[in-house]
Amino acid sequence: MGPYLLGLRLSGRRVLVVGGGRVAQRRVPALLEAGAEITVVSPSVTPALDDLIAAGRITWHARPYEVGDCDGAWLVQACTDHRSVNTAVAAEAEAKRVWCVRADDKDSSAAWTPASGRVDEISVAVTAGGDPRRAAGIRDAIVEALRDGTVDARRNRTKPVGVALVGGGPGDPGLITVRGRQLLAQADVVVADRLAPRALLDELTPDVELIDAAKVPYGRALSQETINELLVDRARQGKFVVRLKGGDSFVFGRGGEEMIACAEAGIPVLVVPGLTSAVAVPAAAGVPVTHRGVSQEFHVISVHVAPDDPKSTVDWPALARSQGTLVLMMAVERLAKVAEALVRDGRAPETPVMVVQDGTLPTQRAVTASLSTVADRVSAAGIRPPAIVIVGDVVRVGQEVEMVRAERLP
C-alpha cells in the first residue's frame, strides 16, 4: 500500500536524529526549517553539523544510541551506517508509538522522508515508492515548473500586489533570477524594455497585458514619465505589474526613478535584483573584471554622452590614471572619443580592450584590440549595440585562458 502523506508541523517539537553522518547532514536542515527542536545522538558528526551545534541550533549527545533516547520525541530519524543500530532505534520508536524513518531500509521503515521543495507558500513532497533518486528527480521537475511558470502559479490567494522592478539579466533568458521568473508568471501587466530577455515574453499567457517600453537609440522611445504613469495607473487598477528590464534595474536602468514615482503614488514596490551585464558579459566572454595581481578594482561607466560633452559627469582623467578595469556601457557609438580621452589623460595606447556584442546570447561575438586601434577595429567588424567594452589588462587574462584551452584540445 502507498503511504498516507501528511504535512507535519514540527515547530517546538522534539525530533531525534540517530547518526551524525552525511544522511543526517541532509535531513537536519529541513527539520530546522520546520522549527523542530533537534537532538543528535552520535559518537561523531560532520563539520556541517558541528557548525550547527556550535551555533546552538541543535543538541548533540556525543555517544552511541541508548535505549530511552526516543523518549519525548515526536519523530525519529535512524541515520547510522549500522543496520543493527537502526533496527534497534526503529524497534524502540515502534514500541513507543513514535514515527521513525529508517535511512537504510525503506521496507522496514514506518515512515518515509519525501523529496521536498518549496516555492513561496507551495510545498512539494514526492515519495515515488520509497525510491529517493526518482523522487528527487520528480520533485526537481515540479519545483522548476512552479518557479518558471510552466505550472500555472497565478491562481492563488496570496498574489502579489503593486509593482515589481525585475532585473532580467544580461540577455540569456536562463540567467534571470528564480524570483524574477516566478513573479513574471504571476503578472497581470508586463512593461518590458528593449534589452529585457524577450524569449520570456513568449511564455506569458494571452490575458497578460504586454506594454513595449523599448528605448531604441536615436529612434522610437517611450518617455520615462510615460512609463512611470503606466506603472502607477495599472497598479491602481488592482493589477500586479512587472517592470522587466535587461541587466539590473538599478544599474543605469532608472529603477530608482520608477521606485520614487510608485512611492509617491502610494504603490507598493518589490525590487528583484538582476545579474548586471557589466559583470556577466565580460564573464561570458572569459574575462574576469578583477584578477589577483592584475586588477583590484573595476569601474562601470555609462557613456551615453561623450567625454567632452558638457553633460558628462564622469571624471575621465581619474579613470585614465587608475589601474583598474573599465567596463563601458552604451559606448560603441562614442568609442573613438573615449579612447582618445583615456590615452590623452594617461592610459597606455597599448592597453588591451575587448568589445562584446550580444553577450550571453547565441549571437555573442567579440573583438579584441588595443586602446589606440579599438575604434577602427570595431567599425570594421560592424559591431553594434548592445555591446560591452572592457578596458584593462584583465583582457589578457581571458586571452591566456583561451590559449591554455586551445593547447589542451585533442
- Amino acid, res. 86: N
215, 315, 345, 393: the catalytic one is: 215
The angle at the Cα of 16, spanning 41 to 32, to the nearest 5 degrees, equals 105
pLDDT tens-digit profile of 264-317? 999 999 999 999 999 999 999 999 999 999 999 999 999 999 999 999 999 999
How would residue 354 be classed by pLDDT, with cut points 50, 70 and 90? very high
- CA atoms of 277 and 364, how far apart (whole Å): 13
By the 8 A CB rule, do 191 and 243 touch?
Answer: yes
Residue 378 has a pLDDT of 96
In this model, does residue 188 exceed pLDDT 60? yes
* DSSP per-residue codes, 184-228: HHH-SEEEE-TTS-GGGGGGS-TTSEEEE--B-TTS-B--HHHHH
By the 8 A CB rule, do 262 and 231 touch?
Answer: yes
Cell matching residue 115: 523529496
By the 8 A CB rule, do 18 and 77 touch?
Answer: yes
Check residue 221 and report its DSSP letter. B
Closest CA relative to residue 210, chosen from 252, 246, 239: 239
- The residue-averaged pLDDT of 202-229 equals 79
Model confidence, pTM: 0.69
Give the torsion through C-alpha atoms of 156, 160, 165, 170, to 10 deg. Answer: -20
- CA atoms of 276 and 302, how far apart (whole Å): 13
Check residue 144 and report its DSSP letter. H
In this model, does residue 409 exceed pLDDT 80? no
- CA atoms of 184 and 176, how far apart (whole Å): 10
- CA atoms of 153 and 160, how far apart (whole Å): 11
Question: Sign (positive/negative) of CA torsion 119, 123, 128, 131?
Answer: positive
By the 8 A CB rule, do 116 and 135 touch?
Answer: no
188, 193, 248, 358: the catalytic one is: 193
Q: Tell me what the pLDDT averaged over the chain comes to.
A: 90
Catalytic residue list contains 215:
yes
In this model, does residue 383 exceed pLDDT 90? yes
Catalytic residue list contains 245:
no
Express the helix, strand and coil content of the chain in percent, nearest 5 each: 35, 20, 45
How would residue 176 be classed by pLDDT, with cut points 50, 70 and 90? very high
Percent of the chain with pLDDT over 90: 69
